Amino acid sequence: MKREDQSPASARLDRRAIVEIAGNIEDAKVAAIERSGATIEQLEEAVAWASGLDAAMGKEHHPLSGIVAQLYDILTADEDFGDERD
């Protein structure tokens, strides 16, 4: 049962949303992110870290853990994430 008060940031990710947030990444990475059960907010945080924007996160700067750490690992596996976002 879907909650009516569920915010868009907490919604589960689909392929379109993943590509919109993370850019043009490999199909295998998209599939892994879909399987993770992550939310939009979690992927946005992982993308910020992978893009080197973690220093700009201010007071919210904290070590990665849980799903965000898993997403970071997916995004940065095998190649430089920043190159994929061009």
Cβ(48)–Cβ(54) below 8 Å: yes
pLDDT tens-digit map of 73-83: 999 987 666 55
> Alpha-carbon distance 62 to 33, whole Å?
21
Give 52's pLDDT tier (boundaries 50, 70, 90). Answer: confident
> Alpha-carbon distance 60 to 3, whole Å?
27
Residue (of 27, 18, 25, 36) closest to 84 by Cα position: 25
